[in-house]
Amino acid sequence: MWAHSELIKLAWTRVSKTPAEQLTAVTARYGGQPPTPSTSYWRLAVPLTGLVEGRNLVVEDTQPFTLHYGFGDPSNWTAVTDADSVSQPFGMYGVTLTAEQLSGQTQLNFIRRYGSTWDPSGNHSIPIVAAPASHLQHQSGR
């Protein structure tokens, strides 16, 4: 019976374009759309293929590190800066780069340093990309 009821709810959602169990309070707050995130997270296990412009970025790791970062061509960094990580929830450490710090840039390049040892995974690059049209439609709620 449970499986049949779930199938009916899925069919209803597909036909009506609204979830069968959507709470009224959620619909009222978000207009039926999920909120647009204001921050993206990068970890070695879950790297970003691109960062949407206008978002903050948090580079995280399980141990303290210094983030050595710059912008532009990966072979010729500009505006090179270092930032020390701070303790984050769940035993993580991170460096937050704000949307303002990333504004006007097209590519972020970085490497982490642990004391005097550079990250063995090497340099990382994240293109900063324009927000897709659907992102812009939902951004007004944030």
Number of domains in the chain: 2
Give the bridge partners for 46, in sequence order. 43
The H or E element containing residue 114 is: strand 107-114
- CATH for 87: 2.60.40.10
86 pLDDT more than 50? yes
Q: Mind listing the pLDDT tens digit for each residue in 1-14?
A: 878 888 888 888 88
> Going by C-beta distance under 8 Å and a sequence separation of 6 or more, which residues neighbour residue 18?
32
17 pLDDT more than 70? yes
Mean pLDDT of the chain: 87
Using CA atoms, how far apart are residues 64 and 85, in angstroms rounded to an integer? Answer: 6
Domain region containing 117: 39-141
> Does the predicted TM-score (pTM) go above 0.85?
no
Q: Mind listing the pLDDT tens digit for each residue in 45-62?
A: 999 989 999 999 999 999
| Strand order across the 93-97 sheet | 39-42, 56-61, 93-97, 86-87
Residues 57 and 119 in one domain: yes
